Every structure is written in C-alpha cells, then in structure tokens.
Structure 1
C-alpha cells in the first residue's frame, strides 16, 4: 500500500448547478497541494470529479425538461471548463456515471450483501431532498433538516441497510489513537461527539418507485444505491480498485481527502465504516476546511450571495484569484470574501510588494548592467539579512505544507518580499550607480534578483502563470520557466548570474480606487448614510454616548456554541444579575481561559438570538489585523460597576 506517494482528492461535486467559490476553493487548495508535492519531488496523484446520481440531480434535470444523463453531460462541462481556466492539474476527472465506477460500486455492494453487512428492513423517518439524507425525529431542528434548514418529508418504506452501527466502538478508538486522521483536531472532537450519542445503521438504497436515477442494486433491481454510498467509492475506484491492482497498491491509502466541514459526517463516519467493512486501510487524513462567508453569513444559493469564480477571474486574473483564496483562508477556519478585501490584498501584497520589488530590480539591472544579472561580490550583513529572510520563508513553507496552513507559508514568502523592498531602500542601488561603486552595485542587484528567484519557486504552486512570468523576466526560458523545484532551493546553486532580464509591463498592475468601486456588486441602500473616509472619525455628541451603558462583568464559565466554530457562550456575573452573552471570540480564546476574567460589556443592548442561543449584551474587545483582545479591568473592581 502507498507509504510515500502523495494522493489528494476533492469531494466530487453535484452537477445540479454551476460551480461556485466553495467548489473553486477546495479544488484550488488540492491543486496547490499537488503542485507543492510535485515540486518536492514526490510522485503525486490528484483526483477530482462530479457526483452525477441522486434525487437532487434528477430534480434539477426534470426542471430543465432533460434526461438526467443529458443534464449531467451538459453541467459537467461547467466544472471542467472552470478547472481548466483555474489551472487545475488533476490527474483524473471521475464521473460517477462512468461504467467502470458503476461496476466497482455494484461489486462492493454484492460482496457486502453476501457477507451479511447489508440487510433489508422497513424504515420510518424524515427525509431531506437537499441533503439526500434520512433523519430521526430527535435530529430535526424546529422540525426541519439539521444541516440545511429545509423542510423534510415523512417516509415509511422498505430499504436496504449497511450495518454501520457495528463499527461504532472501533471508529471511536481509531480516531482517538490516530490524531492525524481527522483534521483540524476540533473536527475530530465533533465526530467523536456525534459517535458517542449513538450510531445507527445506514440506509444505502432508494426504491425506484421514488428515485430511478442511480446505480441499480445488483441483488434487487427494484432499488438504486444511495448517492453517498455510491459517491464515496470514487476515492478508490478512481485509483484502480477492483480494476488495476498495481495502480491501487501505489496510491491507496489517500494522503488527504479535502472536504468542506458541511460533509464531515459522511466522510468521517460513513466512509471509514464502509472501508472497514470492505477490508481496506483508512485514508491518512480527512481535512475539513471552513466556509467562505459574506459578513457572518455562509455563501448560499438560496440567499443569493454566492460569488461566481468566473467573475473574479475575468476581473482580476486567475493567479490573483488563486492567491487570494490561499492567503485569506486558514484551512479549517471560516473566512470572509468581499471584493473590497480582494482588491485591498491584491494591491498590498501583489502590486505594492511583489510587483514593486520585481520592477525595481529589472529597471536597475537594465539601466546599470545592460540588462545582465551580474555576479555578486563579497556579501555584507545586509545580504545576509535578506538571505536569512528568504531561508526562513523556505522553512515556513515546508512547515505550513506539512500542517496544511498555506496562509502561514504564503505570509512568510511575502515577508521575504517586503524584506527585499527594505533591502533595496537600505542599499540604494541607484545611489551606488551614481557613485560608480560597481562591485557593490552588482552584489545588490544579484542578491535582490536571487531572492525573487527563490520566492518565485515558493509561490509557483499558488500562482503558476505569474511566477513563470516573473522567472521569464529574470532571464529564464523554455522549460526552465516551470520546472523549478522547491527541493532544489537548498541543494542547487543559483544559476542567475549572466542571465539577461526582460522588461515587463508590470507583473500585477495596481487596481485603482475607481476599479475598486466598480467591483462592489451590492447596491447601496436607498437611505444609506453618507460614507465617511476611512481615516476620519465620525463625531458623536455626549448625548449619543450617554445612551450606551457599559458595565463590568465577571466570566463565571464559557463553552463553545454547538455547530458554530467562532462562537462562545459566556455566563456572566453583572452585579447581582446573571447574564448570558454569545460572542465570536472562539478563534482567540479557549473557553477554559476565560473563567474569572473581569471584562466590560454593553449592558443595555437589545437581546438577540444567535444560532438558537439567547445573548443579552455585547462584550468589548480590541482588534487589529488578525489579533483580538478583550477589554478587561485593571485591578480589583466589583462586577456591575459603571464604565465611562
């Protein structure tokens, strides 16, 4: 079985609608992972595809008056064309309507049925069409689907079941003894919490009288296979299971199953128990990333706030889009996507920092050394400082790759870019040129260009087109543009000296404020207040401030809000009163660290219900960049004391 090769998968996406930013993020993340491992010299296999069976697909096809397969054939092109546009380098694209996959699913079903792992029984429960899942009465939230909030239907029918419950204790022990199996670790805790509440058997069929679009059960032609049982098998059918033993031996188990957190249960409970029953090893890591939000709301077609990746690509380019996705979200956590934040990061990181450093190096080299990168002279402390920053970026990228925290590796690479700009300011090659200090000038130009060369290799998996363009500007040609390896950065001597640079019109042209305004898609409300410049504080009167009642409060206890990554529920003592406040500080504070703290709250805020939990007030905190700190009281002070 696979012990050294790298095999990464995305979920296979439903073809009931066009792809959105959530699909794009997971697929770009997988592509960046695959590119990095290829750059490290690892044999790599990257699988993605589409899930083309089930009730959602059947309904979407019916709404368009199409045969389901014809609908799938048309919709799959939207995914494939977007992946091509985004530079996705998958080794295989699997469709669950392909005959080889259906054969594998049927063979697995038959073998499990023959061994008594699948049985027939009558089922009574609640069914969500959107999620294509059954739920018990206790699972429902306000009588609706606990996952998507849609209406559910009561169903009583005979079906086939997989004996999933018999693997509950095994799975709990496996998760507890394999800390890398489900990542981030708090997702493993979610799965363990789910399992400890009990685990039933899994309904793995749908009667044809209700759903005809699926893989027919080999032991009963009146039923088709449950879409999730069918879909999950793609991870093994796509690398040769029951078809090509050598291929399967090479790639399984998978290194990473990348998924969104909304499909954690199917991948961390259904899939491992299925594999255990089949007799196959577990994937090494199931990694559940967060959601892209607009404000505090998940992007959703039903809410009409989904961002079309094609729109962003058309406006700002493929690599800028890929860069934003990887730099903005820390995998595992939620992230906000606004076009304003996109433009701000683009201008700051790419135009002002990276593009500016390249422009400086090119112009000075063209002006001072006839466009040829000179050999360096003896290094000084300034060169050692920049080289140290670049070396630290290489280390950080390798560390972040292992921990699947690309944002940290990218941040380190951009720190090296900023160090390059500081180096140029400090060494002032334009002044060296005027003074005729040729040897020192040559060292500066070479050192800055060499930093860019290494950074281009580090960022190539994220921005392959732009980093190839950067390398072309440094004098690389042909196959040299794309074959640079991270594994060579420490072992292979730089080959920059003597290369002739090529001027570029600008690697990342700055997006000006007018374009930024055009990028705003949300219409301004009719009675919106006049905008206040960001650097101007809007003044209020003392009468406005007097309306806000600030008081001290002591945290008695805190706990996470179930199903909400960012929220904590705090029990407070405010004088003689006990209060409950829900706050989005879980990213910065563990619940156990808050007990005993005296904080400041807005005491006269109208109560609100957040994720089904009442919140009476708001705590005060200070935030800058990615850091947040609670406003606390200096010294001892009774709770309920007025602040102001």
Structure 2
C-alpha cells in the first residue's frame, strides 16, 4: 500500500548533527536523534522514501589532545569513541539509514572538493589569524563575546576557556554574505525554527559578519587543505560537509544527491545553530549548491531543576533511562513533556505521571478493557457492526482527523502537539466507553454492544498505527493482538476498517504502571 504512495510523495532527508566523539552519549544526544527517528518513522509510514543520517565528528584539536592524554593515536581513539554513538541505535531502536564518520575517505574527498569550489569562487583567501579560540567548542570568538573569569582567564559564552591564537590561516569571506544571507532568510521564512531562534540568527547577521578563519596550522588532526598540506580545515567546515557527503557529493548527479538534496531538515541543539544557519548556507551558496530547506534548534534539558553537568554528577545516562522506565515510556516522555524547541526539566515525578496517567490509565486501559470485552463476549473475534449511530460516527471522524493534524504539527516539529492530538481522541474514546457502557448493552442489546466494541477496536487500531513512530513496541503489540498483518500498518491502511470475524489474541497489557517500590536507583 505504501509503495503506491511513493510515486506521489517527495523523498525526505533528515539529519542529526554529527556528535563530537569527545563526549559520552547522554540525554542531549538521545533527544536530538529521537526527534529525527520519530520524523523518519512517520514519513516512512506516510509513504515517503526517507534517508535518516547521524554520525560522529572526529577531527579537531580537542580530539588530538584527548588521544595524546590516553597514550593512543587519534584514529584509534575515534574508532573506539565513535562506537559509543553507533551503539545507541540498538537499545533506543533508532532507524538511521547511514552513520557517517568524518574520518571516512568519502568525507575527506567531499570536503576537499568543496574547499576547491569555495577557493575557485574567490571566497577563500590566505591571511593570518590573531584572536580568541576555544578548544572545547572548536570555535572562534570576538572580544565582545567574552567574559573575564575570577582566575584572570577569558571565557566564551559557553563557559569554555579561550586562548589567544596567532597563526597563518585561510579565511572564508563571510562578510561578503551578510546581505545575501538576510535576503535568503527573508525569502525562506521557514528556514530556521523555532521563530525565537530565527530572530536570534537574523539579529546576529545584522550586527555584522566578520570573515571566518577556516584553517589551522598548530595541530595536525584534520583534513588537509588541498595544495597546502601545512594547513588543515577548520573542524566546522569539515563537520558540516557531512550532510552532503552522505548523499554522494561531490557527484551531484549521484542518485541520492538528486533524490535527497537539499535536506528537508537539519535537527540541531540551540548551541550550534549559528554554524548551521549562518556558516553552512553561506558555504553552500558560495559553492553554487542549494542550502537545506530547514534548520531546527531544540532546547536543553535540566535534571530535577539543575543544570546537567559531569561536575554535579547528574548526567542522565542514555541506557539507564530506558532500563529504569522502559523504551516506549522514555521516548514518549521526552517528546510529550516539553514543547519542542523549549528547554525542559527532567524529573522522576513527571516521568512516572506520564507513564501511569497517559500511557497506563488512558491509552493502555482503553485498549485492555475493550479487547478483553471482545475476547470474552464476541468469541475472541472482531464483532460484526450494525448501523452506526451519530456517537459512533463522531468518534470515528475524530480518529480519522488525527493523521492530518499530526502531519501539520510534525511539519513544524511540534512533537508535543502531535501527541496531544492523539491523546484527545484517547480521551474521547474513554468517554465513549463510559457513555455506551457495553457491559450493560451485553444484557440489553447485544447487537448494539457489538457495534460499540467494533468502533472502539477500530479506533484502537488507528491510534496504534499513528503512535508507531513515537513508540516502537507497545503499538506493534496492540496491532498484533488485533491480528493486523505487517503490510496493513502504514498510514495508507488507516481508512481500511477492521475485518469482522478476524480472531484476536488474548489481550495483555502493553503499558504497565510504574510501581515506585520497584524502582532501582542507579546508586
């Protein structure tokens, strides 16, 4: 069914930022990749040909120093550290189609080709750099962006120490792109989301752009500048290029490049928006390549009201989270609890509330009691419906309206509102059960009972289908219990009603309650 739709629907290319190998995977990395995974799953179920990319950023002075501190070479260090991020996909059930590493030969080739195009266009020139550089951020900062620490050192807005650096450097003529970038933002109002971040970027560009140092000579771990091996490329020029490397660049006639570029969405954290929304479109346009269609910057998480940091010992471990609460539960919470784009606070109490109220009480209990009544009162088969009443039609219409709402909300990365649309129908279905009281109809009007249970079973089927992108396991278990074949679980299957007489499995709960006494603290 989905295959027929592929001819009608545009391909969809979504990317995470590539994660810096010096970090260990934590809730921030999971959050970004999870959001992309939900969109990738949604678009596949909606009949679109999807490419979902993630990977690791493996060059730079910080990596070189870390490898030296461990007594190993940078390549061996990055081989080991990159695996930590690749391994996240298993337990979290991420469905990325590719995992790119910036140390791969295909990427070196792409970066050097892009460099040549920028230089041939006159947008790269050789000069010398003198200014402040933060190794931790792999970023240059102006004097006006720095603060003085009590220790007499200067610090970047991120809190990273900066050092004064003087060295020969190639520069990208970013200053020449100020007006063209502003015009690009004006012509493409959806390029940056959410709106507050868009306004920040426009304000930054309007304040004046300085040419950008795009090479280094004081360390060696990076991609060599073509025709000048004394220089290596600035790590951000290298890193950003991964998005086109993965679709076959520099072969702009490659099937994946023609199909997927420009990317539909680069998902990033708000701390790296400037690189993606200012530098990246300027690099691409200078090379006569199309910029991506959209860059979305999400917020950060705190833990029980505190900033997350290693020094405070409150980093939320990516694996412990699903061990403590469950995979579907953790995925649901992260995208439902906080309006996407805002900062959010993780708390145990909020997580338990979502698990027990939204999942167990609302959706889980709806499915369990309806399927149990069918199994007990309808010989374990989907009943034959009679004539539908206005109340039945109203619930079915509300259910059928969910997918268009989800499409609309997810097109602007409003994950929380997409889930709210689903749960509005869950609530309506629970009220319908109470109003129709099929346990009473069993004694007074069996035919009506069967119609009510049929309507509810089909609503549960549709809700299970549309929640699959968010939760890989429980909706699949519900569709199993309803006897739905695997080729009838995409969005094209939604209008096809349940087949009366189909046997259903003996129902079992798919959203267990969280019992506080069973919690095992990480300590």
TM over 0.5: yes
Q: What are structure 2's unaligned runs of at least 5 residues? A: 1-8
Q: Deviations over 1:395-421 (max 9, x none)?
A: 321221222211111111112112222
Higher strand share goes to which structure? 1
Answer yes or no: is 1:458 the counterpart of 2:463. no
Q: Following the alignment from structure 1 to structure 2, what is the Cα–Cα distance between the partners of residues 296 and 130?
A: 25
Find the counterpart in structure 2 of residue 497 from structure 1.
500
Q: Following the alignment from structure 1 to structure 2, what is the Cα–Cα distance between the partners of residues 425 and 432?
A: 12
Q: How far has the Cα of 1:369 moved from its partner?
A: 0.9
Contact kept? 2:121, 2:286, Cα under 8 Å: no
Q: Deviations over 1:433-484 (max 9, x none)?
A: 233x22011111111111100001110111122111110111224x24xx52
Contact kept? 1:181, 1:284, Cα under 8 Å: yes
Contact kept? 1:259, 1:286, Cα under 8 Å: yes
What SS does the aligned partner of 2:379 have? coil
Compute the RMSD of aligned alpha carbons.
1.8
Find the counterpart in structure 2 of residue 46 from structure 1.
52
Answer yes or no: is 1:161 the counterpart of 2:161. no
Contact kept? 2:362, 2:430, Cα under 8 Å: yes
Q: Following the alignment from structure 2 to structure 1, what is the Cα–Cα distance between the partners of residues 324 and 11?
A: 37
- TM-score, normalised to structure 2, is 0.94
Find the counterpart in structure 1 of residue 6 from structure 2.
none
- TM-score, normalised to structure 1, is 0.76
Q: How far has the Cα of 1:89 moved from its partner?
A: 1.1
Find the counterpart in structure 2 of residue 268 from structure 1.
277
Q: Following the alignment from structure 2 to structure 1, what is the Cα–Cα distance between the partners of residues 155 and 17?
A: 22
What SS does the aligned partner of 1:11 have? coil
Q: Deviations over 1:305-346 (max 9, x none)?
A: 221121011122212111111212322111111122111111
Answer yes or no: is 1:514 the counterpart of 2:517. yes
Q: Following the alignment from structure 2 to structure 1, what is the Cα–Cα distance between the partners of residues 157 and 281?
A: 21
Contact kept? 2:137, 2:160, Cα under 8 Å: no
Higher helix share goes to which structure? 2
Q: What are structure 1's unaligned runs of at least 5 residues? A: 524-644
| Matching residue within 9, 22, 34 for 2:40 | 34
Q: How far has the Cα of 1:78 moved from its partner?
A: 1.4
Find the counterpart in structure 1 of residue 5 from structure 2.
none
Answer yes or no: is 1:343 the counterpart of 2:352. yes
| Matching residue within 147, 172, 190 for 1:180 | 190
The answer to which of 115-124 and 28-37 deviates more is 115-124
| Matching residue within 482, 486, 508 for 2:491 | 486
Q: How far has the Cα of 1:295 moved from its partner?
A: 4.8
Answer yes or no: is 1:203 the counterpart of 2:213. yes
Q: Deviations over 1:110-154 (max 9, x none)?
A: 232244321121211111111011112112123633331122111
Q: Following the alignment from structure 1 to structure 2, what is the Cα–Cα distance between the partners of residues 216 and 356?
A: 60
Q: How far has the Cα of 1:297 moved from its partner?
A: 4.3
Mark the structure with the bigger radius of gyration: 1
Q: Following the alignment from structure 2 to structure 1, what is the Cα–Cα distance between the partners of residues 420 and 312?
A: 33
Answer yes or no: is 1:293 the counterpart of 2:302. yes
Where in structure 2 are the equivalents of 1:524-563 lying within 5 Å?
none
The answer to which of 348-357 and 292-301 deviates more is 292-301
Q: Deviations over 1:187-238 (max 9, x none)?
A: 111011111111011111111xx32111111121112111100000011111
| Matching residue within 68, 78, 83 for 1:77 | 83
Q: Following the alignment from structure 1 to structure 2, what is the Cα–Cα distance between the partners of residues 504 and 304?
A: 42
Q: How many positions carry a matched residue from both structures?
A: 510
| Matching residue within 444, 448, 465 for 1:440 | 448
Q: Following the alignment from structure 2 to structure 1, what is the Cα–Cα distance between the partners of residues 70 and 320?
A: 24
Find the counterpart in structure 2 of residue 380 from structure 1.
389
Structure number with higher relative contact order (C-alpha < 8 Å, ≥ 6 residues apart): 2
Contact kept? 1:179, 1:185, Cα under 8 Å: no
